[in-house]
Amino acid sequence: MVPFSNAKCKYCGKRFYKTANKTCYCSDRCRTLALREQKAEYQRKRRKLIRDGVLVAPNEKASNDIGTGYIGEHRNEDELEELNVIRRELRRLRIKRW
């Protein structure tokens, strides 16, 4: 098979010859490690969105109906934490002002 072109691996930076136009990595190991890092980064961002209340976890009820909030029955003793809980709920319901 004739090499397609000289390229640089997206993961390790090593030079290699492409055998197909869509080849981005010099080896299966680099491809696997790069994919693992991409998935980890995606999950980090996703968990942060869930923690901030922007994204609802799949196992939680995703409804904007009255009475289906995630605030809880009792007030939080820490006023700053209570304010953060209220802000997250407002963000989840897409309410701009209160």
Q: Report the 10 Å Cβ neighbour count for 91.
A: 13
Q: What is the pLDDT of residue 44?
A: 95
pTM of the model: 0.53
Report how far residue 25's alpha carbon sits from residue 37's, in angstroms, rounded to the nearest whole number: 14
Is 18 within 8 Å of 5 (Cβ atoms)?
A: yes
C-alpha span between 51 and 48 (Å, rounded): 5
When pLDDT is cut at 50, 70 and 90, the band that residue 23 belongs to is: very high
CB atoms near residue 7 (< 10 Å):
17
User: Which pLDDT score is estimated for 43?
Assistant: 96
Q: Which two tokens stand for residue 81?
A: 């934490």
Domain range list for the chain: 4-52
Instruction: Give the model confidence (pLDDT) of 29-77 as tens digits.
Output: 999 999 999 999 999 999 988 888 777 656 555 455 555 677 777 888 8
